[in-house]
Amino acid sequence: MSQFEVAVDERACVVHLSGEIDMAVTDELRAAVRDGLDRHDTVELDLAGVTFLDSSGLGSLVLLRNEASDQHKSLSLVNVPPMTHRLLQITGLRNTFDIRDA
C-alpha cells in the first residue's frame, strides 16, 4: 500500500510521481517512464508528490537515465524534494542527473 501514483501529461511529456517509491513500485515506475521515452525525445520526471524514495527508487532512476541515454533521449528531474536531494548527494548521483526547477 505504498500510495504510489503515476500521471502522464502527454502534451508536455511530463511523468508526475507521487507517494512512496520503494522496491514495491519499481516495475510500475519503469513501465511508465519507458512508455514516455518511446514516444518523446525528452521526458520530465516530476517528483513533487514523492513522500518517500529509497535506494530501490534511486536504482530505477539510474536504470531509466541509462536507457534514455542509450536512445539519445533526455530524462530530467523536476521538483526534487529535499529528502531525495539528500539521497542523491549521499550516493554521489547528484551530478549524473539533469535536475531542473519547475
At residue 56, φ and ψ (nearest 5 deg) are: -65, -45
CB 86 within 8 A of CB 52: no
Shortest spacing between CB 62 and other proteins, in angstroms: 6
Shortest spacing between CB 47 and other proteins, in angstroms: 16
Shortest spacing between CB 49 and other proteins, in angstroms: 16
Interacting residue ranges for other proteins, rule: CB under 8 A: 1-2, 20, 22-24, 52, 54-56, 58-60, 62-63, 66, 83, 87, 90-93, 96
Which CB sits closer to other proteins, 18 or 56? 56
> What's the CA gap between 68 and 85, in Å, rounded?
21
Q: Among 77, 61, 69, 66, which Cα is nearest to 25's?
A: 61
